[in-house]
Amino acid sequence: MHTTDNDTPPRWGDLKALQARFPGAFGRTRAYEMLNSGQLRAKKLGRRTLWDFAAAEALIEGSPDLGKVA
């Protein structure tokens, strides 16, 4: 995805970009399950599905730290 400011990463991208940005966190099936449950956000532009990286990051940040699981 193109951005005008090289220091600011894009907020939206396709599934491959989501998987590249968060390696190992989202497979195709799991990403769509999380989308359907409301845990992830995406928008449809024509035939393309663009995923909200900020929602994915918030989901990961909101997960419990290893060793602190109740």
Q: What DSSP line would sit under the chain, residue for residue?
A: ---SSTTSPPSEE-HHHHHHHSTTT--HHHHHHHHHHTSS-EEEETTEEEEEHHHHHHHHHTSPPTT---
**What pTM, to 2 d.p., does this model score?**
0.79
Q: Which two tokens stand for residue 17?
A: 């970009």
Task: Read off the pLDDT band of 7 (50, 70, 90).
Answer: confident
Q: Is residue 63 in some structural domain?
A: no
pLDDT tens per residue, range 22-44: 999 999 999 999 999 999 999 99
- Biggest CA–CA distance in the chain, Å, is 43
Res 3: pLDDT: 52
Indicate the number of domains in the chain.
Answer: 1
Residue 61 lies in a domain: no
CA–CA gap between residue 4 and residue 22 (Å, rounded): 22
Q: What's the domain range around 16?
A: 12-56
